[in-house]
Structure 1
Amino acid sequence: MDCVNWECKICTFNNEFVAFCLPVSEGRIFCKVCESCHGLKEIVTDVNQRTGQYLCIRCTLLNPRSRHYCSACGSWLLFVSESPPESEQLQSELSFLSLTSRSLSDVDEDNENNEEMIDLMLRFSFTKLEHSANFIKLREQPEFRNFDPNDLAEAVRSCGDQLDYVDFVSAYFKNECPICFDSFPRHKVLQMASCQCKLCFSCFRNFVTASLDNNDHVSHLQCPICNTPDSENEAELENYFEYLLIQVKSFQHAEIRFEADKINMLEQRLRDWNLMRDPNFRWCSHCPNGVVLSEQMRGLKFQCNQCSKYTCKQCRKQWREQHEKISCEQFQQWLVENDPDYQAKGVAAFLENNGIECPKCKFKYALAKGGCMHFTCRPPCRAEFCSGCGGFFKRLHGRGLVCEHPRDCLFYLRDFTVRSLQKLLSDHGVQYETAAEGAASGTCDVMEQKESGNLVDEACGRPVEGHAKLCGKHYKEYLVSLINKNRLDPVEVMDVEQLKETCRRHKIEVQNSISTDSTALRALIVRQVPLRS
């Protein structure tokens, strides 16, 4: 008889379907390669649809669709209809008991354990007397005495005809969860969809639920142990999320399960994530709604279907009638020359106009970058990135949040002196604002994102220090914005210690002969680590 195969949805290995002896209500099948758990009904239904026949889980025979019970062993063909007629169900059970009885034909009839072993066969659906005998022997050993009988029976069924069944069962119960560090039997741990890490059912549910409740970005649903797949690899994330959703939907156990609202929340988060990847997706600049624009759309303005207000699809700013029939650059110049509110803000308006743009969903914030450099985008995006360079923060095991900043990022340049930043601009003929006319007074009005329990947008509030009506922090940001806009390299104004620190950060080997030569160090950095284009 040809073997029946089924494909693992996690690792795609083609497994051989073996005779199944579990109670159907507890039906689970494990992949031979990745050991991922699959539902019996799902596998059998797939085999039936693929072969056009009905699979018997007792003897693996493929039966014609005209039959309701197996032509070989008489077992009722499961997952064909909801329930068999009472007479046929009885015939199926009698056929299985007949097979069970035949498996006892070689047993010593004087053995006083026969009755107990038959009882165990019926209780745990063992198909061989040896399984009952092994179960009894294991239960008598101190190592297994306190184990749940159902878990022990599952282990016995899994070991098959292995002679070293004691070692197999012992290893079967030693699956340590890397989060809670408790040990579990193999059928009570779940392998993550992207790696070989295994979590216990409770920790898996808590991990997914906590991420949903905290409104984290969907990339935080990557494996909490090894942080795979890469949050920047959208193709890997897409495959991972597809399998994760299957795992969550099929994760329905007696005491540990996902509620329907959590499953719906996960589906919505993944749907939003896919939506924001559409190149025609735009956020409304007036409300939290997003819109997928038609590819045939003409002009720059689009109307939000939630608040009915207009936004420019290119510069993503709130639409004004002066923007009609002119480019975004021309509209920006019009603001500088004609808008009294814009002119009153002066350099602060420049910071807002050149504020923060989410690298994931492209939403633009009229906020300064000089707030917390770790910026969190609004829901449903929730991407975490550096407001200075746009680099994503990654969660690395043992290191927490990590971002690789280029050397021209505000993250580093905020430690430079105002004089050195001004010199870099002056050397390249870039004009910049200096101290405002008259005595500096008042507080800085630049808007920034602050963390005070929750993320809030508030005015800076620091005292103005005479730098173009800005505090010292935001004046540096203004200068750095000009440096980035003109793509200037800060190595030109770094001293020797700053140059050596940059080399250490980029793991550039520095020979002793040039360790104090600023010109040679600058050339070495520019050659080995060129600035992003």
Structure 2
Amino acid sequence: MEELHVDVEDRECPICCEQFPYSKFVNMTHCKCSFCEMCFIHHFSAVIKEKSIIHVVCPICKKPDLEKEGNSEESREFFNLLDTQIHHYLDSATHELFQRKLRDKALMEMPNFSWCSHCPFGILHERDTLEMECPSCNKSTCFNCKEQWEDMHEILSCEEFKRVKMQCQEEKLYDYLAKNGIECPSCKYRFDLWKGGCLHFKCTQCQHDFCGGCRKAFFQGSECGFSEDCHGKGLHAHHTRDCFYHLRDWEVDRLQKLLQHNGIQYSDTKKEPPGLNERSSIVWIPTVKAHMDKAEKKDETTSNDTEDKEYFVKLINANNLDPVDLYTETEMKVELQRWKLTIPENCGGDRSEAYLQKLQMKIRQEIPLLVK
């Protein structure tokens, strides 16, 4: 059997555990550690490219502690000696990156140096005021708190300025969510509402399933206790009759008629764009397409029609209007059946109008709308 002979001058690298001659080892300058050239190259190349300059230390003992020593004489000596080693063993691009990070470290330790908050430019700020103007992007930043500079910061401390800015942002967010947001009926958490699409919402905080139109809860069929018929259904909700779930099936003209019937004014979306405050996040954008095939025309018509319906249903809900005002006799009976209520008989030969009023009265009394 052939014996394996190891050169007495070879030694094992403590990182990769491979055998190399002493000439292939690199000795660290500020500790007693040493390891092979390839481990030196792999370690310092990765650290220089991916981490802060304070992590460019010995991979074995983690010395010196650059975070603790800061800009001491010992740390400067370490970097000077390491720079020579990196220049010898690593490629020129990595060496240049090391020198740039070393330069940035030295700049950041200067008391009047700061990075611009708007661009990668660094500034030596020597003015008496806290306002720091960047010669690269021409924008101003507070030298102390690094916030974008505003005139009111002249008379406010950084803490006061941040507090005022935070208050303004909270007020803007509150106003925005009040107009465009949606509130979970279970935990009352408010979040941004994206117009269009499915009405099924799942709260990110409490996981409650509900309808974005009427806020009624969604249930799996077996969990819904409304009636035995629900057990055979999947995820469903018992939407109120003024919910967009039902009113999106109405034609735009009929939605407008319900508003007119109750004396509610509205903007004609076909001719005049309503204000943003009126239509929340739905924006009316007039567009003209010179060349459009039939499919594109159909898609655009459907999209515009949906936006118009959302607008009118929002007005209907905001004014607590009841769609039953325009229900036909068949629709009223369907509404009563949907809520498992008895349909009144047309006794005594009631006139059609009188019977409709009887159905309408029963619906109003026994199936009230939710106050939004």
Shorter-chain TM-score range: 0.3 to 0.5
TM-score, scaled relative to structure 1? 0.31
TM-score by length of 2: 0.44
Larger CA Rg, structure 1 vs 2: 2
Q: Which has the higher helix share?
A: 2
